[in-house]
């Protein structure tokens, strides 16, 4: 794991400028329970969203193709709880590192992103957050088609990173369709 992280960081410093590529990513998913990182459940919630990504660098290496993307995202979650409908809007901005096992962008890929997020509500479902501003983290696995479009599955986590107590966290999973242009 350390070697992979060190390779990724090294690649960022020696990356070659990429031919500009952009993606519009449409997402649909569900809130998660307390199985992973978050403390309480939002498992009854539904989610949809849109992301804009801009690839600004890539680095072909013997370990595969590494790409850096800048990503802005909007997600909307809603849940009916205790007879009331509740909504949550999430705005994110983060760099994303995408890796293809081959030296070309095609087939299977994995990605991770860490950045900042603003959540419109501190209370959603069973979760009571302490701040509107949070760290955003995601992990995804996907497959890029020959057409340039891709499909991915993503796990997203939001929390204050223990900058404030408590830190209940907020998780959802999504299925995503990437349109390249």
Where residue 88 sits, what CATH number does that domain have?
A: 2.40.160.20
Q: Which of 67-76, 87-96, 122-131 has the lowest mean pLDDT?
A: 122-131
Report the distance separating Cα 123 and Cα 69, nearest Å: 31
Q: What domain count does the chain have? A: 1
- Where residue 21 falls among pLDDT bands split at 50, 70, 90? very high
Report the distance separating Cα 77 and Cα 48, nearest Å: 7
Q: Are the C-beta atoms of residues 134 and 162 closer than 8 Å to each other? A: no
Q: Which of 19-28, 32-41, 95-104 has the highest mean predicted lDDT (pLDDT)?
A: 95-104
Residue of 49, 51, 34 lying closest to 125 (CA atoms) = 34
- Where residue 133 falls among pLDDT bands split at 50, 70, 90? very high
Report the distance separating Cα 120 and Cα 132, nearest Å: 6
Using the predicted structure, report yes or no on whether residue 14 has a pLDDT greater than 90: no
Using the predicted structure, report yes or no on whether residue 165 has a pLDDT greater than 50: yes
- Where residue 16 falls among pLDDT bands split at 50, 70, 90? very low
Residue 176 CA to its chain's centroid (Å): 10
Average pLDDT over the chain, rounded to an integer: 88
Percentage of the residues of the chain whose pLDDT score is greater than 90? 67
Q: For 33-90, how does the pLDDT look when each residue is reduced to its tens digit (9 = 90+)?
A: 888 777 788 888 999 999 999 999 999 999 999 999 999 999 999 998 778 899 999 9
Where in the sequence is the domain holding 45, given as residue range(s)? 2-180
- Where residue 19 falls among pLDDT bands split at 50, 70, 90? low
What is the reported pTM? 0.85
User: Higher pLDDT residue, 160 or 143?
Assistant: 143
Report the distance separating Cα 109 and Cα 173, nearest Å: 17
Q: What is the mean pLDDT of residues 22-28?
A: 98
């Amino acid at each position: 794991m350390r070697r992979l992280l060190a390779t990724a960081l090294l690649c960022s410093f020696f990356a070659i400028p990429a031919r500009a590529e952009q993606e519009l990513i449409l997402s649909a998913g569900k809130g998660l329970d307390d199985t992973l990182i978050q403390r309480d459940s939002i498992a009854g919630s539904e989610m949809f969203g849109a992301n804009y990504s801009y690839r600004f660098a890539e680095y072909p290496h013997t370990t595969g193709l590494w790409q850096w993307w800048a990503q802005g995202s909007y997600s909307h979650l809603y849940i009916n709880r205790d007879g009331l409908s509740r909504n949550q809007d999430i705005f994110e901005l983060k760099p994303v590192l995408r890796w293809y096992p081959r030296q070309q962008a095609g087939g299977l890929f994995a990605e991770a992103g860490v950045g900042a997020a603003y959540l419109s509500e501190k209370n959603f479902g069973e979760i009571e957050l302490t701040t509107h501003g949070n760290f955003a983290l995601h992990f995804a696995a996907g497959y890029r088609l020959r057409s340039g479009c891709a499909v991915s599955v993503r796990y997203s986590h939001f929390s204050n990173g223990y900058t404030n107590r408590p830190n209940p966290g907020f998780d959802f999973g999504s299925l995503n369709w990437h349109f390249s242009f």
